[in-house]
């Protein structure tokens, strides 16, 4: 009689409950006029309260998904003025880690497709208020697996020992067990605030064994959005620089550049590149400075781990290097333009002197 009871207890330990959060972000244009969007009858706005850790540089516009839609699991839709739309999905589960690992990849794929359909609904409604709209230029995604702690059923150390392999492989969207080295490295990076709680941050997924996690959701959503913009700007700079390289590294000077006091910025590709440099610098600096967690070691560590796992610093450095190249190109182009205009002025002066000389000779002949 003891054996069936023991097996029942073992099975009850295997089952956990919690939520899967899937974050998607899409770049759909250069800028979005949030004031105009908020005035639309077809858009229902939602009051938004930013956490205390966030500065108000780029306060997004929170809206309901336009009807009709089939996304009961979409709990957040935000429009950002720098041309991005972010979606958050919340999927509850009550299952074993083994079953969750088998299903997690399919769930992820399902909401990859769902997010495209949902963001397209939003895009169609607000397209007229987007500068250079395009559906869509780039996307990024990230996941959270949140599990309710069961301290009376299983201690944290036992959870890591018994289910660590399942947890870590699920976080990597793998159905096979990771190597001991990979597993131990991921579990070794776990942090927690209270005894019995745990947060593991990784490249695709964060695992949260805690009931108080709302602020972490905000950090993850913002990090995913930051990743999107950095990837987009990096690719955009690549395209612009490749165009310069393909032209042999020498940008043709427009005809109007030969004339002093004539503004050539409207049709000058290098001047447009200079404006792009300013826009990118402003947005990336504000994104980087939008979170202030100084004085809170727990959230500082989570924020730092997200930056490290998403490799945001490397992307930032890549953009800075390419912006330096843009700066060098602009300096060369400006020098070339200045030389041309100086030469034109010198020629004009010579022509004026020659004309005065001719007029003087003509006056002398007539006299």
Q: Give per-residue pLDDT as tens, 236-278.
A: 888 888 877 776 555 555 555 555 555 555 455 566 677 777 8
pLDDT of residue 361: 85
Q: Which of 213, 228, 244 is the last residue of a domain?
A: 213
Structural domain total, the chain: 2
State whether 191 and 295 are in the same domain.
no
Parent domain of 302: 219-362
pLDDT of the residue at 195: 85
Domain final residue pick, 184, 213, 242? 213
pLDDT in the model for residue 69: 77
Please give the pLDDT value at position 263.
53
Q: What is the pLDDT of residue 239?
A: 84
Name the average pLDDT for the chain.
85
Separation between Cα atoms, residue 202 and residue 191, nearest integer Å: 12
Burial of 308 (0-12, 13-18, 19+ CB in 10 A): middle
User: What pLDDT sits at residue 3?
Assistant: 47
Say if residue 280 is in the same domain as residue 159.
no
- Count Cβ atoms within 10 A of the Cβ of residue 211 and give its class: 0-12 exposed, 13-18 middle, 19 or more buried: exposed
Q: Kindly give the parts of the chain with pLDDT less than 50.
A: 1-11, 266
In a domain, 367, yes or no: no
Alpha-carbon 134 to chain mean position:
16
């Amino acid at each position: 009689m003891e054996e069936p009871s023991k097996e029942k207890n073992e099975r009850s330990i295997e089952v956990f409950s919690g939520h899967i959060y899937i974050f998607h972000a899409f770049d759909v244009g250069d800028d979005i006029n949030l004031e105009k969007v908020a005035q639309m009858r077809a858009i229902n706005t939602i009051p938004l309260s930013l956490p205390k850790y966030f500065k108000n540089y780029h306060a997004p516009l929170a809206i309901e998904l336009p009807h009709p839609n089939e996304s009961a699991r979409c709990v957040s839709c935000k429009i950002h003025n720098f041309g991005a739309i972010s979606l958050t999905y919340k999927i509850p589960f009550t299952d074993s880690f083994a079953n969750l690992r088998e299903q997690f990849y399919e769930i992820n794929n399902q909401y990859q497709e769902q997010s495209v359909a949902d963001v397209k609904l939003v895009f169609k409604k607000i397209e007229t208020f987007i500068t250079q709209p395009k559906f869509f230029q780039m996307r990024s995604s990230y996941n959270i697996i949140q599990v309710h702690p069961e301290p009376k059923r299983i201690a944290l150390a036992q959870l890591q020992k018994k289910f660590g392999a399942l947890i870590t492989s699920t976080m990597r969207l793998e159905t096979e067990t990771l190597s001991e080295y990979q597993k131990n490295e991921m579990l070794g990076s776990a942090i927690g605030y209270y005894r019995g709680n745990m947060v593991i941050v990784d490249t695709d997924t964060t695992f949260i064994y805690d009931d108080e996690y709302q602020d972490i959701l905000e950090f993850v959503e913002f990090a995913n959005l930051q990743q999107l913009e950095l990837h987009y700007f990096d690719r955009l700079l690549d395209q612009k620089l490749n165009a310069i390289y393909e032209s042999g590294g020498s940008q043709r000077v427009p005809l109007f550049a030969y004339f002093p006091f004539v503004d050539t910025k409207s049709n000058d590709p290098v001047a447009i590149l200079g404006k792009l440099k300013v826009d990118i610098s402003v947005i990336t600096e504000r994104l980087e400075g939008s979170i202030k967690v100084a004085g809170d070691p727990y959230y500082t560590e989570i924020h730092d781990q997200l930056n490290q796992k998403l490799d945001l610093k490397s992307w930032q450095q890549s953009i800075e290097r390419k912006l330096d190249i843009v700066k060098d190109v602009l300096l060369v182009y400006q020098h070339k333009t200045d030389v041309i205009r100086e030469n034109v002025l010198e020629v004009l002066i010579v022509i004026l002197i020659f004309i005065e000389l001719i007029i003087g000779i003509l006056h002398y002949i007539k006299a």
